[in-house]
Amino acid sequence: MSDWLYSDTVKDHFMNPRNVLTEDEASWPCDGRGIVGNIKCGDQMLILIRVKDGMIRDCRWKTYGCASAIASTSILSEAIKGMKLEDAYKLKPQDIVSKLGGLPDNKLHCSVLGDKALRAAIDDYLAKNGLPSLKGTEAKEVVCHCLNITDKDLEEAFKSGAVTWEAWQERTKIGTACGECKKRALELLHEFEHLYG
């Protein structure tokens, strides 16, 4: 059962989460709001940000989820304070997992909620203020090197109804060359099920 061990950092952020939204959302005025996840799958995350001069000045959050989801959001909320919007938008789940000192493989999907909720909050802020979108600047992971298929390609396929490995193959042709991408693609499929249901 050593795969289930959490780092001291994860335990600390789970037991003593930082920047949690303790009051009603309306009583903490924010500049941007992002919510992602699917409560039916057990994980949903809300992130609120305050922005000044193109930088995140403060953050509050609420997460409905497991210890990994709570710890991931807590450490993310600390990391983004003082960060430029452009840099915060490019944060990857791997960045969060690294700050936590790792997560068990079966809990890695919990770290993807934070960066997506943060991007949604930044998108909300930019739209409300008539500023140019940052969509497309976030980091992309090439999952299938043979066909240059990225995690974003798979996410778009999932959101438009391709919610199985077979449907992904039909839509994107992933795994039809060497097949070495299947393991990572199935991990992403699991993550997207948690995000979008």
The catalytic residues are 41, 110
CB-CB contact of 49 with 129 (8 Å): no
Q: Is 38 left (phi over 0), alpha (psi -120 to 50) or beta?
A: beta
Tokens of 132: 């140019």
CA 163 vs CA 30, 55, 57, 138, 190: distances in Å: 34, 36, 37, 23, 10
